[in-house]
Amino acid sequence: MSPRQQLRADARRNADRIVAAAGALIAERGADASLEEIARRAGVGSATLHRHFPARQALLEAVFKDRVEALCAKAGDLLAAADPGEALLAWLRAVGAHAVANRGLGASLMRGGGDPALGGTCHDLITGAGEKLLVRARAAGAVRPGITIVQLLKLVSAISLATEHDPDGPAEAERLLGIAIDGVRPR
Amino acid sequence: MSPRQQLRADARRNADRIVAAAGALIAERGADASLEEIARRAGVGSATLHRHFPARQALLEAVFKDRVEALCAKAGDLLAAADPGEALLAWLRAVGAHAVANRGLGASLMRGGGDPALGGTCHDLITGAGEKLLVRARAAGAVRPGITIVQLLKLVSAISLATEHDPDGPAEAERLLGIAIDGVRPR
DNA sequence: TTGCCAAGTGGGGTGGTCCTCCATATCGTA
DNA sequence: TACGATATGGAGGACCACCCCACTTGGCAA
């Protein structure tokens, strides 16, 4: 689905419909929503869904693309912040908040490394954006050495995943994130 | 399967076989292994599996029961350790190590709160054992206030879950745990 | 020891999932 | 308008969790 210009108009319209339906259903029921039902809601056959998005991950990437881009933009903004360490932590909190708010985003962010062949775009984008923040924070001595951006994002995603089925998910995620993130600072 | 005495001899034998087969298959393929195949391996019909373990969670509880009990015993031992704070952290690390070594244990530990009606035993056992360690550590001023044992276990489980599909899972889990656990100490 | 019946079993059915083929319908162009 | 490349979706295969019910079996009472 990278070269969207090459798609025929109806095909592109269907792809958009599928992404919209997927977004709605994933918000309702989580990242493991039924692909059949997504197709049903989008008003297309299941074969069409599978041709457009050969793997579930590809669909998730499309659904969350704009949110990931927003997070990347925020990372860019924070590069100009006064305190490099606080900038990184603030960004991680923002990533966590987004992951909690958008069910399934956290899982999507992590699985980038899993299937290197297809997609991985979300994971790559967010990793690239965060890396710059981490490098700057590290240079300022605001994070302890040896920590990678992939580790930090894994931590954030894991927390959002763990609190996904909680009655009081967002608040609990915030608290857990607070604990975990404090370990990032040098002793 | 709580009142095992009330089961007929053959029923109990089948239940044990199912738990053994489940343990093997879960170790191979993770906690979402097919129940049909577990039944097949155990040499019983799928109906038998479902009657003994009405929900997947119930089966997981049975599979991991001994490991959870070992962790609870370890918690008991650590209650006598000199440094209450270090005792708690050491135990959390042990829980993490077990969760990583036994695929699916982490997920099982977390889901206790999800379905209050059935099971929850693993979750309750481990929570109870950890609570004592936490209370002692808190009294010694070794952990910052406001942290609950459920939060700590959620953190540990989340990390083990997140690293489950990693090429270098155990080592990475150890590192992430190190980061997260440092946030437990008071500032 | 024998006979009986509650307890236990598993094949087969239901309804769901993901994914693939291929005959058909549609778009965009010449 | 006519045509061919492109896109579609229903039908179907393989798998899954879970349930029903005709049958078997263990263990107790006589």
- CATH number of the domain encompassing residue A84: 1.10.357.10
pLDDT of residue B182: 80
pLDDT of residue B167: 77
Sequence length of chain B is 187
- CATH number of the domain encompassing residue B18: 1.10.10
pLDDT of residue A130: 95
* Domain co-membership, B179 together with B105: yes
**Helical segments of chain A, H only:** 9-29, 35-42, 46-52, 56-78, 84-101, 105-110, 121-139, 149-162, 169-182
pLDDT tens-digit profile of A19-43? 999 999 999 998 899 999 999 999 9
* Domain co-membership, A178 together with A154: yes
Q: Are B185 and B144 in contact (CB under 8 A)?
A: yes
Spell out a b/e string for B79-98, using b for 16 or more CB atoms within 10 Å of the CB, else e.
Answer: eeeeebbebbbbbbbbbbbb
Higher per-residue pLDDT: A180 or B38: B38
Tell me the two tokens of residue A46. Answer: 């299941």
Domain termination residue (choose one: A54, A74, A90): A54
pLDDT tens-digit profile of A54-111? 999 999 999 999 899 999 999 999 999 999 999 999 999 999 999 988 888 877 777 7
* Domain co-membership, B6 together with B48: yes
Chain D bases having any atom below 7 Å from a protein CB: 6-12, 15-21, 25-27
Sign of the CA dihedral with B106 first, then B107, B110, and B115 last: negative
pLDDT of residue A184: 76
* Domain co-membership, A35 together with A66: no
pLDDT of residue B74: 96
What is the spatial distance between Cα B124 and Cα B49, in angstroms, rounded to a whole number? Answer: 24
* Domain co-membership, B70 together with B42: no
Q: Are B96 and B156 in contact (CB under 8 A)?
A: yes
Which nucleotide, over all strands, has the C1' atom closest to the CA of A12? D7
Domain termination residue (choose one: B37, B54, B71): B54
Report the Cα B53 to chain-centroid distance in Å: 18
Quickly list DSSP for B13-38. HHHHHHHHHHHHHHHHH-TT--HHHH
Cβ-Cβ contacts under 8 Å between A and B: the total is 73
Give the dihedral of Cα atoms B145, B149, B151, B154; nearest 10 deg. 160
How distant is the Cα of A89 from the closest Cα of chain B, in angstroms?
13
- CA-CA distances (angstroms) from residue A87 to A74, A136, A137, B62, B86? 10, 9, 8, 46, 31
What is the spatial distance between Cα B179 and Cα A185, in angstroms, rounded to a whole number? Answer: 9
Which nucleotide, over all strands, has the C1' atom closest to the CA of B6? C7
| Number of compact structural domains in chain A | 2
B183 CB neighbours in chain A (<8 A) are 178-184
Residue A185 predicted with pLDDT over 50: yes
Q: Are B166 and B183 in contact (CB under 8 A)?
A: no
What is the spatial distance between Cα A119 and Cα A96, in angstroms, rounded to a whole number? Answer: 22
Range of A72's domain? 57-184
- From the list B67, B44, B114, the residue with the least C-alpha distance to B52 is B44
pLDDT of residue B119: 45
pLDDT of residue A187: 67
* Domain co-membership, A103 together with A81: yes
Which nucleotide, over all strands, has the C1' atom closest to the CA of B15? C8
How distant is the Cα of B37 from the closest Cα of chain A, in angstroms?
22
Domain termination residue (choose one: B54, B81, B97): B54
Residue A114 predicted with pLDDT over 60: no
* Domain co-membership, A65 together with A14: no
pTM: 0.84
* Domain co-membership, A116 together with A175: yes
pLDDT of residue B101: 87
- From the list A101, A99, A75, the residue with the least C-alpha distance to A89 is A75
- From the list A104, A90, A101, the residue with the least C-alpha distance to A152 is A90
* Domain co-membership, A40 together with A98: no
* Domain co-membership, A34 together with A69: no
* Domain co-membership, B81 together with B169: yes
pLDDT tens-digit profile of A118-134? 446 888 889 999 999 99
What is the spatial distance between Cα A132 and Cα A122, in angstroms, rounded to a whole number? Answer: 16
Cβ neighbours, 10 Å, residue A90: 16
pLDDT of residue A113: 47
- From the list A95, A15, A93, the residue with the least C-alpha distance to A58 is A15
pLDDT of residue B23: 95
Chain C bases having any atom below 7 Å from a protein CB: 7-13, 16-22, 26-28
Cβ neighbours, 10 Å, residue A152: 25
What is the spatial distance between Cα B91 and Cα B85, in angstroms, rounded to a whole number? Answer: 10
* Domain co-membership, B150 together with B75: yes
Going residue by residue through chain B (187 aa), what tens digit of pLDDT does each one get?
A: 444 558 888 999 999 999 999 999 999 998 899 999 999 999 999 999 999 999 999 999 999 998 999 999 999 999 999 999 999 999 999 999 999 888 888 777 777 644 444 446 888 889 999 999 999 999 998 888 888 999 999 999 989 888 887 778 788 898 898 888 887 777 6
